[in-house]
Structure 1
Amino acid sequence: MKRLFVIATLLGAAPALADEGMWTYNNFPAAKVKEKYGFEPTQEWLDKVRLSSVRLAGGCSASFVSPDGLVMTNHHCARGCIEQLSTAKKDYIANGFYAKTQAEEKQCPAMEINQLESITDVTDTLGKATQGMSGKQYADTLKAKMSELEQACSAGDAKVRCDVVTLYQGGKYNLYKYRRFQDVRLVMAPEHAIAFFGGDPDNFEFPRYDLDVSFVRVYQDGKPANTKDTYFKWSEHGAKEGELTFVSGNPGRTSRGLSISELEFQRDVVLPKTLIYLSEMRGMVTEFQRRGPEQKRISNNMLFGVENAIKAMKGRHEALVDKNFFAQKVAAEQELRKKVDANPEMKKKYGAAWDEIAKAEEQLAHVRKELGYMEQGQGLSATTFQIARTLVRAAEELPKENGQRLREFNQAGLPALKAQLFSPAPIYPELEIARLTFGLTKMREELGADHPFVKKVLGKDSPATLATRVVKGTKLIDVKARQALFDGGKAAVDASKDPMIALAKLVDPDARAVRKNVEENIEAVVRKNSELIAKAKFEVYGTNQYPDATFSPRVSYGSVKGYMEDGKQVAPITQMAGTFERHTGEDPFALPKSWLKAQNILDGKTGMNFVTTNDIIGGNSGSPMINKDGEIVGLVFDGNIQSLGGEYGFDESVNRTVAVHSDAIIEALQKIYGATRVLEELRPGSTKVPPVKANPAG
C-alpha cells in the first residue's frame, strides 16, 4: 500500500497542508478554504451545519434532513436497531423496511441521537485545578473537576448530555453540551444485499456500488421533533467532479499526535494482538452461523463488526510497519524535541515529557493482558455480564460523591447509562454462551491456567461449562429484573442469587485494582505529559492546527476528486449501471430482487458512489456530505483502502472518503422502493409527479 505522507502533517507539527484536518467548529480554517476554493464559511454557516448534524451515541454520525425530525445515516450504523426489531419471521436486515405511515415507524430499542448545542473552552479551569499535581492526585482532581463541570452543565436535565472533551492530548479541554433524543424510530432501510453490496471483499475499496443508507426519526413527547431551523436541504443536483465538499460528523479516533513510544506500542503489541483476537472471534462467529438460519440472523451484525474491524486494523498496522512512513514520524518528533532542548526554559518545562511517556508505556506492556481480560471485556465478553457489572458497580458508585465515582457513573452521564442498561433490545442466550465461552477460553490462554484470576473465575469448570451455567441461570435478560436490582441498590445486589451477578461481584475487586493502577500510574502520567508536549507544540508551531479525533463533532473540507492507484487513474464517481454489471447472483455480489425488477426503469447514468479528498476516520460513517450552500450531495459510508493509515497521517494524493451519491438515494427511493413519504420530506413537491413503477418483466 503506497503512502507518501508530508512530514509536517504527521504530528501536528505545523499548520496542516492540503485538505487535511478534522476541525472543531470553534477553530475552523475558513480563510484557508477561501484561499483554495473561493468560499469562506462564516460562523453562522458553521453553526447551522453543527446544529443540522447529529451523533449516534453508539458510534456513528447522522444528520437532520427534514423539518420533521427525519434523520439520515448509514444502513450499517442503524444495523443494531434493524436487527433488534427483526424476528425469524420478519427479517428487516435481509428484506428491508419501510414505514408507509407515521404510525408504522418502529421505535429503536437502544438508539440515542445527540445534537451539539454549544461549546465552551474550559482549559484554564482544569489547568488551574490541577496545577503542580501529578500521579494519583492529578488523576483524581482532573476526574472530579470534569465531573463537576459536566454536572453543572446538564443541571440534572435528562434531555441534556455534557462531556468534557480532551483535545490536543490535553493541550485544550472543551465542554460540549448536547441535546439528547432517545425516542428514535426506524422509517426506511434497504436490504442488506444492496446496503453492503460487495461485502467484505469490497469493504474499504473503490470503485463501490453501495446504497448504504437508512432513515430514522426523532420524536419528542410522542410527536416528530420540530427541526425546521436545523436540517439540511437536498441538493437539486448531486456531487460533481471538482466540487467543494464538506463532511460534518464525529470521527472516532486518530493517533496523529501520539509520541513515538506510544506508536511503537501500538505497532508492536496492540495491533498484532488485536488482529489475532479478532480473527479468532471471526472464526467463532462463523462457526456459530453454521448452526442454522436463526443463529446466522442473530449473529450477522456481530460478524459484520468483526470483519470491518479486522480490515481497519490491518490498514493501521500496515501504516506503522511502513519503514519510510515511520521514519518520518520519528523525524517529526526529533525535530520538535530539538527545538524544545534548544530553549532552556522550554527544556525545563517540557524536555522530560517524552521519556516519561515511554516509561509509562513500558509499565502498560506488563499489565496489558490483565487490563484487557479482567477489566475491558475481552474475557468476560457477554452482554449479560456487562449488564451485571454495571449493576454491581452502580450499587457501589452511586452512593459516592459525584467527583469520586468512576467516570461512567457520574451524574451527567447517568441518563445515557440507564438508557443502555434498561434497553429492551433482545439478548440471545445461545449467542451469549458462545461469546462468553470464547472470551473465557482466550482469558485462560493469555493469562495462563495458573493465574489467580483465571482460577478464581473458572474454579473447576471449563469455559463452556461456566458460560452455559451463568447464562442459563441469569434473569438479567429481563429488563424488569435489571430495574429491580438497580432501584434496590447495594442491598438488592448483595442479596441477589443471580449467577451472573455473583460472577460480577466475584471478579470486581481484581478488575478495579487493575483499572486503578492503570489510571493512576500509567494513564495519569501519559495524560499529564501529553499535555506538556501539546503546549510545547503550541509554543513552537502556533495554534493553527487541528486536534486528533475524539468522537466529537468535527468538520472537514475537500473536493470530489479521483486518484492514481497502481499507475491507473481511478475515476471519482461510479454510475448506477455499474451496480448491475457487478451483479453475479452469488453473495456478496447478489443484488436484491427489488433492484433486478427495477433495472429497466432506472437511469443507469445516475451517480452511485463517489470519492472526495475530505479527511475522515471511523465514526464518520453516516456523516452528511454537503456543498457550499449547505445542501446534501452525498452520504459518507467508508474510506478507500489507502485511508486506513489515516489513523496516523494524511496523504491527499490517495486518501479518499467514499460516499453514496445523493442522486442514487433519490432514484432508489422513487423507482425501487416507492418510498414517496420519505421522498416528499427530502424534496417537497417531488411526489406530485406520478411515480415510475418497476416493470415486473425487467
Structure 2
Amino acid sequence: MKKNLLILGLALGLIFPPALKANEGMWFLMHIARLNYRDMQKLGLQLTAEEIYSINNTSLKDAVVQFNGGCTAELISNDGLLLTNHHCGYGAIAELSTPENNYLRDGFWAQTREQELKPKSLFVRFFIRMDDVTDRILSKVNNFMTEQEREKIIREESALIEKENSEGGKYIVSVRSFYEGNEFYYFVYQDYTDVRLVGTPPESIGKFGGDTDNWEWPRHTGDFSLFRVYAGADNQPAAYSKANVPFKPKHYFPISLAGFKEGDFAMILGYPGRTNRWLPSAGVQQNISYAYPAWVEGSKLGMDVMKKYMDKEDAIRLMYATKYSQVANYWKNRQGMIDALTKHRTVATRAKQERDFQRWANRAENRELYGNVLSDIQAYYEATNHKARHDNYLLTTLRTASLAILPVRIKNSVDAMLKADGDRRALVKDRILATIDEQYASMHMPLEEDVLAAQLALYSSKSKPYPIAPYIADLNKKVGDNFHPYIANAMKISIFASAERLKAAIELEDPTVIESDPIYRISNALFEKYREETPEQKELDAKYRRAFRLLVDGTRKANPKKAFYPDANSTLRLTYGTVRSLPKDPRNDAAKNYYTTLRGTIAKYKPGDEEFDLPQRLIDLYNAGDFGPYADKAGFMPVNFLTDNDITGGNSGSPVLNGKGELIGCAFDGNIEAMAGDVIFDNKLQRTINVDIRYVLFIIDKFANAGHLLEEMEIRR
C-alpha cells in the first residue's frame, strides 16, 4: 500500500519533502497569524497574534533589537535597559577594559546612570515594520533575462522601494530577497547609537567553560551582560551626549520567576544570521570535503599563534580577546558541521530529494524551465570545489592576520584623500591618522608578523591545485614554505612596522611610498585574489544562481500545501517549541537533563584554570545556600536550560519567552550534536542552550550587589 501511495504521489508531481516538526522553522512575524498561530496555541501560547506582531499597536517585536549588527538583545525596563549575552557584549567590554580596570576579568556594575560606560561604536536596531513586495519586483523581470539584467532591475526597483519608505531618511529601509530570489520583502528599521555598558559579570561567570564547553551540554555559563539605550529628549536617536536620557520603549519584557517544567511552551524572537536549509547535495559535499576543513585548519593556526602571545601578557590578551573569541567560535562550529553532516548522511538525504525533484522536472509541462536545473548545479560545484578550499584558506588569512588586510585599507583611504581638495582632503587625512592610532593600539607587532608568516605558508602549501595569488606564488618559489625570515626582514623596512612610520608616510601624500612597500604588496596580492572574478567565473556563478532559484521555486510549486520558511538572513524571525531534555547524561547532576544547577558549576571549578576558575564570592554564596528568591521551588539554583527552538548564529542574546510573553531566559548557544542545524533540522537532537533568567537576577542581586537594577524591572514572582 505504501508503495502504491508513493507511485501516486510521483505521478501527481509531488516531491514529499520531510514534514515540518512543530518546533522547526524561523518564521516571519507578519505570517504568524496565518501559518503558525493554532500550532503555537496548542503548545501553550496565551497571547494573540496581534500581541506578537502589530504595526499599529505595541507588541512583542518592539522589545527586541538587533545588537551591534550581529546579535540580538531585549528591553527589560521602561528606562531602556537591555539584556544580551556576555559574548555579544564582549567586544565592547574588552574595548572599555584596561590592565588597571579589567572589566572582562573582574566584571563591571554601574551604581548610577552617570557611571555607565560608552564604547566608541555600538548600536541597536529597532524593527518598525515589514511588507511583501514580491509581486511588484517580479513583475519587472522574467526567466528569459540574463542574471545580470535581472539583478540590475531588482536593484533599481529595490532602491525606489527603500526611498519611498524611509520618510525622508528617518528610517533605514532594506529590501531583501528570500527563497533564493523568489520572494522579496522590505524591512523598516531605526538605529540608536548611544548605547552604554551597565553591567557584566566577570569572565569566570560570563564565559565559564570557555572553548572547552562551547557548543556543549551540560553547560553552566552565565552568558549575559546589560546595556542601556539612550535617546534625545524627544526619545529619537541622538549622537552620544551627556544630555541624552534613557530611551522609553513601546514595550519591554516582564520577567517571570515562576520557573518552568519540561514540555512548557517557549518562543524566541531574534535575528538569526544565516542558514542554508535549501543547499543542494553537491554544496553540502563541497563544504564537508573542501571548504570547512580549510576553514578549520586556517582558524586553528591563527588561534594557536594568538594564544602563544596572549598567554604572556594581560595587555596582549585584552588586545586580542575579541578576535580570538570570534575565530574560536567559528573554528569549533565548522568542525562540528563536518562531523554532524557526515554522521547524518546529509548528502545522501539531499540527493534522494533531488532525484524526486528531477522526476517532477522531467514532466512535459516542467521540462523546459526545470529540466536542467540539477545538472547545472552539479556542474557548478564540480568546477568550484578546489576554489572553495583555496578561498577558505585565503579568508582565514585575512580574518586572523591584521597585516594582511590593513595595508590595502590604508591605501584605499589614501587614494580617497588624494582625490579630495582643500578642507575635505585635510579632514580625510585626519581620519586616516586617527584610524592608524586606533588600529596600532590593538596590534602587537611580533604576534602580527608571526601570524602573517604562518598563514602565508599554509595558504601557499594547501590551496593548490587551485592557482594562488601570483605574487604569493612567486614568493613561495623563493622562500619555500617558511615565510618567517622574509616577513621579519620585510618588517625592518616596511612603513607598516609602526604607527609612527605609517603616519610619516601618509604625510608625504605620495601613493608610490605605499605601493612599493613589501607588506603592502603581500596585502594587495591577497586582496586582488580575493576580489578576482574572471569572465568564466561570472558566467558560472550566474548560471548557478538561476538554477538554484529554479530549484527552490520548483520544489515549492510541487508541494503547494506545504508551509515553507525562508533561510535566515539576519532579519527578525520567531521560532517556537518547548522546554525539552536531552537523553540522560551522567555529567549533569540535575534530576532531568533539561537544566543545570549551580551545584554543577561548582563541581567543574578548577582554581586558577583559565576556563573553569570561579570567583570566591560565587562559591561562598553556594556554600551558604544564599540564593534569595531566585532558587527553583525544588531548592536548587538554576543556571542554564534547554529548549527545542530552531535558532542559529545571530540569535545569541535572543529573549526566551513563556506563553504569557514573560522572559524566562536568554538564548546563547546550540548543542554540538545538532551542529548541522544550519543545513538540516534534527528534531531529535537539536536544542537551544539558554541562561535561566533566575540565574541572571541572582548574579545581579546576590553576587554583584546591584539590586538597584532590579528595581527598574517588572519582576513577576
- TM-score scaled by length of structure 2: 0.81
Change (3 A) 1:244 1:589: same
**Which residue does the alignment assign to 2:52?**
45
* CA–CA separation in structure 2 for the residues paired with 1:85 and 1:202: 26
* CA–CA separation in structure 1 for the residues paired with 2:277 and 2:214: 24
Q: Secondary structure at the match of 1:170?
A: coil
CA contact (8 A) 2:639 2:691 kept: yes
Equivalent residue runs for 1:56-205 within 5 Å:
56-131=67-142, 132-147=144-159, 149-150=161-162, 153-154=165-166, 157=169, 160-205=171-216
Q: Which consecutive unaligned segments of at least 5 residues does structure 2 have? A: 1-14, 232-237, 420-430, 480-484
Cα-to-partner distance string for 1:229-280 (whole Å, 9 max, x where unaligned)? 1321212423433221111111222221111111111111111221111222
The structural deviation recorded for 1:584 is 3.1
Equivalent residue runs for 1:285-684 within 5 Å:
285-322=306-343, 324-342=345-363, 344-368=364-388, 371-372=391-392, 376=395, 378-379=397-398, 381-383=400-402, 386=405, 389-390=408-409, 426-430=441-445, 431-446=447-462, 452-454=470-472, 462-466=486-490, 469-474=494-499, 494=511, 497=514, 503=521, 506-507=524-525, 510-511=528-529, 514-515=532-533, 520-542=538-560, 544-564=563-583, 570-587=592-609, 588-599=611-622, 600=624, 601-602=626-627, 603=631, 605-683=636-714
Q: Secondary structure at the match of 1:634?
A: strand
CA contact (8 A) 1:135 1:521 kept: no
Change (3 A) 1:371 1:648: closer
Residue correspondences, number: 648
Change (3 A) 1:256 1:88: same
* CA–CA separation in structure 2 for the residues paired with 1:398 and 1:242: 61
* CA–CA separation in structure 2 for the residues paired with 1:495 and 1:530: 45
Q: Please tell me the residue identity of whatever aligns with 1:207.
A: P
Q: Please tell me the residue identity of whatever aligns with 1:265.
A: Q
The structural deviation recorded for 1:439 is 3.4
Q: Please tell me the residue identity of whatever aligns with 1:558.
A: G
Change (3 A) 1:662 1:12: farther
Change (3 A) 1:444 1:616: same
The structural deviation recorded for 1:679 is 1.4
The structural deviation recorded for 1:427 is 2.3
Change (3 A) 1:517 1:82: farther
Cα-to-partner distance string for 1:413-433 (whole Å, 9 max, x where unaligned)? xxxx99x98996852243444
* CA–CA separation in structure 1 for the residues paired with 2:95 and 2:223: 18
* CA–CA separation in structure 2 for the residues paired with 1:267 and 1:505: 29
Poorly superposed stretches of 4+, deviation over 6 Å? 394-400, 420-423, 456-461, 475-478, 566-569
Change (3 A) 1:136 1:332: same
* CA–CA separation in structure 1 for the residues paired with 2:599 and 2:438: 41
Q: Please tell me the residue identity of whatever aligns with 1:42.
A: A
* CA–CA separation in structure 2 for the residues paired with 1:122 and 1:397: 37
Cα-to-partner distance string for 1:97-130 (whole Å, 9 max, x where unaligned)? 1111111111122322212212122333443444
The structural deviation recorded for 1:164 is 2.8
* CA–CA separation in structure 2 for the residues paired with 1:52 and 1:398: 42
Cα-to-partner distance string for 1:604-623 (whole Å, 9 max, x where unaligned)? 61321110111111221111
CA contact (8 A) 2:673 2:685 kept: yes
* CA–CA separation in structure 2 for the residues paired with 1:380 and 1:38: 43
The structural deviation recorded for 1:358 is 2.0
Change (3 A) 1:328 1:566: farther
| Bigger Rg over Cα | 2
Cα-to-partner distance string for 1:337-357 (whole Å, 9 max, x where unaligned)? 322323x22222222222212
The structural deviation recorded for 1:549 is 1.5
Change (3 A) 1:506 1:447: same
The structural deviation recorded for 1:189 is 0.5
* CA–CA separation in structure 1 for the residues paired with 2:621 and 2:602: 11
The two structures, once aligned, show a CA RMSD in angstroms of 3.8
CA contact (8 A) 1:379 1:439 kept: no
**Which residue does the alignment assign to 2:7?**
none
* CA–CA separation in structure 2 for the residues paired with 1:373 and 1:152: 42
**Which residue does the alignment assign to 1:244?**
265
**Which residue does the alignment assign to 2:20?**
16
**Which residue does the alignment assign to 1:215?**
226
Q: Which consecutive unaligned segments of at least 5 residues does structure 1 have? A: 1-10, 401-416, 486-490, 687-698
The structural deviation recorded for 1:513 is 5.4
Change (3 A) 1:46 1:464: farther
The structural deviation recorded for 1:165 is 2.4
Question: Which segment is superposed worse, 104-113 or 322-331?
Answer: 322-331
Question: Which segment is superposed worse, 97-106 or 301-310?
Answer: 301-310
CA contact (8 A) 1:357 1:529 kept: yes
